[in-house]
Structure 1
Amino acid sequence: MSDRNSYGDSGPRRDDPQSHGPGAALVPVRSPRGVHAVTRQVEHGRPRLRDAAMTTAGAREAGGAGIVRRAAGHPAAAPLGALAAALAGSLVLYGTDPHQPGHWLPRCPFNWATGLLCPVCGATRMAYDLLHADPVRAFHDNALLLLCTPFLLVVAGRWAAAGLRGRRWRPVLGARASYAVGAVLVAWAVLRNLR
């Protein structure tokens, strides 16, 4: 064996199989996917690397942490997590009437601090009314948000579809559109508090 190891650097290696005697040894190897155990074996005087994830011990060492890390980084993780949170919130909201006093749902911080309605005040009541198939009452709770709901559902659907295809999708809103959305929200907040 030459004085250069299989990674191209010179000098003795502490994980050289010849220093361990005949057979194989598990050694940590850094790869683009992280640190994992690799079995070094000697065949005809040359080292051969075999990924230990193929063995039972390697599978246990690589274990669930890598799977969870890969799943959390998948483009579908965020939209599916948001969908799960929305479904769980809907189940809780279905049985809790925010129109009745004494409910445990949190109050809007802006409304609590100023006594004024913010652009999304009434969203919880609107969602409750929609869950109970009462669109007229939902319209009275927050008309602007109810009118924007189909657009928001399309955006959420495109986000989820792109994630399931393995792509990351972020809606791009230009400067003019951002100013227009901001102006509509401010105008809606003013109009809500004048009536």
Structure 2
Amino acid sequence: MNGDNHRVDASPAQDAAPPPAGPPPYAPAPVPASRLRRLATPVGVLALVVGAFGYVGTVDPNEPGHYPVCPLLQLTGVLCPGCGGLRSAHAVAHGDLATALGANAVAVVGYVVFAVVWVLWMVRASRGEPLRIALAPAYWWGVGALLLIFAVVRNLPFGSALAP
């Protein structure tokens, strides 16, 4: 050693070239998914829903002991917006729409909304388009307000027709 103090700068090099923009030239182009693969998820979701409705259609929620009691109803005696949903699903599975509406009308509306969204999902998936449902926060607040009004009205004497 000659005694000279040479310092090595540990900072990154100032004259380093910036990384190239975009994907590297050797990256293969993305391959579009096949139609069967695009439809697999919505078909799988439908299979789960049909299985759930099949189970609820087979195991009657009107007979005690098959399903747990709603915790809100058990603790407070207040019907939540979902109370009667299983009985409604049981009635829908048996094709009894009047009984389904009497058990929980909001649940029946939910089944219809699911069906519409599922069909939209299938159409878009078959075209290779993503399912994007972007609702403004005001719509979500409106849905919440309707559920709250439904829950309150079904617990009042004049709204007993909405109770399961």
Q: Quick check: 1:194 aligned with 2:151? A: no
Deviations 1:134-172 (A, max 9, x none): 112111111222244333311121112222333220211
| CA distance in 2: counterparts of 1:166 and 1:110, whole angstroms | 43
| CA distance in 1: counterparts of 2:123 and 2:55, whole angstroms | 26
CA apart distance, 1:112:
4.1
1:123 to 85, 90, 108: 85
Question: Percent identity at matched positions?
Answer: 35
Instruction: Note if contact 1:79-1:156 (Cα within 8 Å) is conserved in structure 2.
Output: yes
Instruction: Note if contact 1:126-1:142 (Cα within 8 Å) is conserved in structure 2.
Output: yes
Which one-letter code corresponds to 1:94 in the other structure? Answer: G
- Shift in alpha-carbon separation, 1:112–1:82, aligned structure 2, 3 A: farther
- In the other structure, the counterpart of 1:97 is 60
- Shift in alpha-carbon separation, 1:178–1:125, aligned structure 2, 3 A: same
2:46 to 74, 83, 89: 83
Instruction: Note if contact 1:130-1:138 (Cα within 8 Å) is conserved in structure 2.
Output: yes
- In the other structure, the counterpart of 1:162 is 124
1:180 to 117, 123, 142: 142
Instruction: Note if contact 2:124-2:131 (Cα within 8 Å) is conserved in structure 1.
Output: yes
| CA distance in 2: counterparts of 1:108 and 1:164, whole angstroms | 39
| CA distance in 2: counterparts of 1:166 and 1:112, whole angstroms | 47
Deviations 1:23-79 (A, max 9, x none): xxxxxxx9669xxxxxxxxxxxxxxxxxxxxxxxxxxxxxxxxxxxx89xx553432
Q: How does 1:39-54 map to 2 (within 5 A)?
A: none
More strand by share: 1
Runs of 4+ with deviation above 6 angstroms: 30-33
Specify the SS of the correspondent of 2:155: helix
Instruction: With the length of structure 1 as denominator, give the TM-score of the two structures.
Output: 0.56
Q: How does 1:60-71 map to 2 (within 5 A)?
A: none
Provide the alpha-carbon RMSD of the alignment: 2.6
- Shift in alpha-carbon separation, 1:166–1:132, aligned structure 2, 3 A: same
Instruction: With the length of structure 2 as denominator, give the TM-score of the two structures.
Output: 0.65
Instruction: Note if contact 1:76-1:164 (Cα within 8 Å) is conserved in structure 2.
Output: yes
Instruction: Note if contact 1:76-1:166 (Cα within 8 Å) is conserved in structure 2.
Output: no
CA apart distance, 1:116:
2.1
How many residue pairs were aligned?
127
The answer to which of 143-152 and 90-99 deviates more is 143-152
CA apart distance, 1:109:
4.1
Instruction: Note if contact 2:61-2:86 (Cα within 8 Å) is conserved in structure 1.
Output: yes
Instruction: Note if contact 1:126-1:146 (Cα within 8 Å) is conserved in structure 2.
Output: yes
CA apart distance, 1:83:
0.5
